[in-house]
Structure formats: C-alpha cells, structure tokens
Chains A and B, each alone.
Chain A
C-alpha cells in the first residue's frame, strides 16, 4: 500500500536515521522543519536511498498558521498517512530560571505545537481508516528533576496527549506509538556532562520502526531505560526531592 510519512523536526539526527530507514522501504516522505537548506539535502539523500517521494516543507511549531498548508499537502497523497514528531527543544534549565518567558517556547516546541498539528491530522486519518503517529517524548517526562523540569513537564504533557490520541485513533483503526528515549548522541546532548549509556540515533530509529510494525504503545529506547525509569519513579518523594540526579 502507498504510505506517506510527514516527519516534524526532520533535521534531528534521530529523525534523519528514521527517514532513511523508511526511504529504504520505498515510503513517501514529507520532511518538515525550519531549516530548508538542510531539509533539501536530506530530501535528496532519501530519494537516492529509495524513497518514492521526498519533499522538504516548512514547519515551525510556534507558527500554527502554517499547519494548514502541510495538512493540505498531505491530503493530496493517496493511501495511508502517518506522522512522526521529533521536534522539541531543551534550553538549559539555568536559562529558563533566569528568564521564565522561555517556558512558553519550550512547551510549544515539544508539546503544544506538535499536538496542534496532530489534532488537525487526526480527522484525516480517521477518514482514511488508519494511519500511525509516532511521538517522541523523553524519559525526562517520567519524573521532574532539578536539571530539566520544564522540558520534562513539556514531554510529560506530550505523553499524556499521545495516550489520549491513541485512545481516539484506535477506534478508527489507527495507532499511536509513544517513544521515550534515554540519552541519544545528537546535537541536543553533544558536550553535556554526566551522560551515560548514550545510544546512536540509528539504533533508536531502528527501535522506533520495529515498534511501529508491532504496533507497540509505549517504548523506551534503548530498552533498559524502562528499568532505569522504573527505579527512578519508585524512589519515594521525600528522598527523591533531596537528590540531585
């Protein structure tokens, strides 16, 4: 069947690896983000790797006015319509502490912007009787920590949104995969201190694609983060609140 994916935040290294895997399967790709020069290079790369279609498109999570054009473009493709959200931003918590106005943008990039877009897409997917949504959240959304709790809160909101969307799309034959990566070797984490067990973007992309095929609901990637987070979430709050992790 004809499959088309729109990838939001396609310049992320994780998204690039995911797009390449889809390209090798011959999928159609709409690569959306703010950096058209980079998206154009990626589109050519995906075509050479076998994508049926690969097209760069402008998507700014903070400019909902542009979403309609993306939806209209998607609508012209026949067959199954899928979306994968990699967009997100993680300003240093100390910058947010100094300027709380940054909270709005962080939440828009990682949660409300993509959610707004997915909300416009859902009726289309329902009308076509299916389709998949991949939402990249984060283990940081499982519990708020001193180091990045605004980003974590945005991701937690996104997780909750995705679980509701799953509930909705399931009724129409669709599916939603919530992805919670641990540390991944990308621009977001390059040079940050204290990282461990850092996964490659391609390994994460492989896990995501497998989860899509198996219609998994929520995955941690790499898998062991499920157990790390299980422990972290079970630390009693009186102790946790004094910890610095």
Chain B
C-alpha cells in the first residue's frame, strides 16, 4: 500500500495529527509521489512542535531514502540522501577522521530535517549553522529534480525553510576533519548567571555548551555546568546497549521537588575544581539518544520545549526570563544555555549572534502561559523563537523576529504555488501570508 492512515505527533507529544502517510523505499516512488500527490516531507519527527505535522492532509516520510552515495576524501564532500540520520553518518565516518560539520543534540535527526531547520550544534560559535556546510541540494518539485546551489535565493529559502520549497531528496555535505571518534570533555561548575555567561564567553574550545539548573533561584540563579569538548583519537568502548522508556510516566515523575533534587545531584556530580573525561563521541553529542523514547517521561500529555535566542546585549533580559522560569517551579532538568555566533544560511534560519536558551516544560496550563510570556519577552529583546521547538507561538511578531520573511515568502510562492507543502506549523504561524 502507498498510504498508511496514521496518528502521529511531534517529539513533545503535545501536538498531534492524523492523516495518510506514504513512505517511499525507492527514489522512483518519491518522484512519482511528488508528481502526483505532492505533500510535505517528514524526517524522524524530532522537531518538538508541529513542524512535521499536517493534520487531515498527507505527509511523505523520507526516512527510508537514507543512503550515502558518494564521498571524496580529498575534499570531504559526502553525497547523502535526505533520510540519512546524522548519528549514522558520524558513526560511519568518525573512525576515518571525518564528522558532519554541524550536529544537533540528537543523532536521530535526518539530513532533510537538519536542512529544513538549518540546525546548529555545540560548535555554532566556530562552525556556524548546518547550511553553511551544504554544498548542494537536490529538491523534488512537482516530480522534477531541481539542483540548488549555495548563494541562490532558492538555497536561502530552503535552508531553514521548513520543507516549503520542495521535498529534499539528497544533499552534498562538506564534512569536517576530526581526530577520531572519542571526545575529551572538560566539565566546570558555573556558580551563578554571571559566571555561567563568563565561562561561555571565554571558552575557546571547539564545542561548548552550558547545562542550566533552571530551578536555582536567588544567588544561585543561572548556575550550571559548562562542558567543553575536543575530538580525539583513542579507544573507548562504545556502549551500544540502549535503554527504552517502556510506557508513559505518571505526571509526578517530573514534579518540582523531583527536578530540584535531580538538578542538585547533577550539579554536584562535577567536582568544584572541574574535571576532564574521555567519552565516545555519541555520548557527548547525543546524550539522550541512549534512552529511546525518553519523551514518554513526560507522561501522556507530553511537553513543550521553549527555545529562543537573544542578541548579546540582551543578556539582562534573558536573565529576567530565567527568573520567571525559576519562580514558576515548572522547569524540567533539560535546560541548555549556549553562546551562538552569527552563522546562518537561510532567510528563516534561527541563529543570531547572542545567547540561546532551551528548556522543556510539561504540557500544562501554567507552562503554556509561561511560554507565551517568554515569547513576548523574546520579541521585546530583539530575539527570535526556534521553529524546531515551537508549538505554541502566536505568529503575531514573527515578522519582526525574522526580517527576511518576505524574501522567503516570495521564493516559496514560486516553488509551491498551490500550497501543497504547508504544514500545521506554517498555518499556525501564518508564515506564508504574514505581514
């Protein structure tokens, strides 16, 4: 059968959709779907909200078109199909001294999803965004293959373009040399907000990220652990045993006292003087991937992730947002702070030079209200929301957050005039019409 009636959800499981999904196993099938029944594409649905949902409509699941089809060791150029997962590419190439130049925090993300969200990694301050290492893209538009090269409007509309310019069939990625498949990781405590930002600002490591204890208040507000990593060669046994969350957790699993206790233990596990460890690369880049279906820990109501970026000068506004979060008692242990560089590749790419904060909240009324407040504050601070995470945004201030929205809209209108590729997110935020 071609179409499978499906109930599916974003990674946060708070937003859901029903509709027919096709999953081509061969290129020719993808081509004929694009010609006869064009519909938006999905990858591994690691976007938290509704970016990869199409309620009542159709979707094309690209995860079976996942082959690596050419590599040139002289240039590091890898041709790969859109359904290939970043973690698989890393596992195949790191032992030979190459890594995808940019990797998001989950190895399950596909190349197509990484292009369509122009994702960033722990090295954004050096390497920029995913799209800055894409040398070519092949799109399927109405059954025809269209080659897209960098420095064209179609390329900029496709990077971070939420799949609206066509189905991404394959791409050429410029891999980055690495020393091997282990990581030297230094972990240091940051005792409060100022120290946390100072450690992030001062870091010269290739990969830097801060874990934040979003339950800490007062003098310890903003405390956390700054992790810095470099690739290295050596032998660390890869733990291939995966664990799985077998069922939806009860709602108290992530209740405030539990999270507070967990965060304190997590913080104290790193000695006051810091420490250096050697880890398999997967443990550093994709720490949560070892626990399959960890999103079930939030119970059946699911959760939302809020992620914003604000300009460097707006650090005080970000601090105020964190105060609001800490006071709410709603935060989960998953909270990340990172300093971003200016690198971005598309009209709707998320990154800007500044600080980005990402944090999970259980899907409850109070949390939804908090997230809407945070959205407003982000806009006030001259920052922007991340479409890969957002599930609640109202869209009212999207134009201000994304000043190149009109350029994107013009290109998308040419690529998909009949609006076959619209998703729930695109409709919710009115992205193709706004302003």
Q: A: which residues have CB within 8 A of B? A: 11, 13, 24, 35, 37-38, 41-42, 44-45, 48-50, 186-187, 190-192
Contact = CB atoms under 8 A, between A and B. Distances in A.
B45 to A, nearest CB: 15
A42 B67 contact: yes
A196 to B, nearest CB: 15
Interface string B91-102: 010000000000
A44 B64 contact: no
B26 A35 contact: yes
Given A45-B68, A48-B68, A49-B68, A191 B26 contact: no
Contacts of B92: 24, 48-50
Interface stretch (B1-9, B155-163, B415-423): B1-9
Given A190-B4, A191-B3, A38 B27 contact: yes
Nearest to A50: B92
A44 B80 CA distance: 11
Mostly, the B contact residues are mixed
A44 B68 contact: yes
Given A11-B26, A44-B68, 11 more contacts: A13-B64, A38-B27, A44-B69, A44-B70, A45-B68, A45-B69, A48-B71, A187-B25, A190-B2, A191-B4, A191-B5
B27 A190 contact: no
B360 to A, nearest CB: 27
Interface residues of B, number: 18
Contacts of A186: 25
Interface string B6-47: 000000000000000001011110000000000000000000
Contact of B67 (A45, A50, A190): A45
Contacts of A44: 67-70
Contact of B25 (A13, A37, A45, A191): A13
A192 B23 CA distance: 13
14 contacts: A11-B25, A11-B26, A13-B25, A13-B64, A35-B26, A37-B27, A38-B26, A41-B67, A44-B68, A48-B68, A49-B92, A190-B1, A190-B4, A192-B1
A6 to B, nearest CB: 20
**Which 9 pairs of residues, A with B, have the shortest CB-CB distance?**
A191-B1, A191-B4, A45-B67, A48-B68, A187-B25, A44-B69, A41-B67, A45-B68, A38-B26
A35 B27 CA distance: 11
A45 to B, nearest CB: 4
Contacts of A192: 1
A13 B5 CA distance: 21
B103 to A, nearest CB: 18
A186 B64 CA distance: 9
Contacts of B27: 37-38, 41
Contacts of B69: 41, 44-45
A93 B431 CA distance: 47
Nearest to B78: A48
B172 to A, nearest CB: 14
Interface in B306-321: none
Nearest to B24: A187
A35 B26 CA distance: 9
A42 B26 CA distance: 11
B77 to A, nearest CB: 12
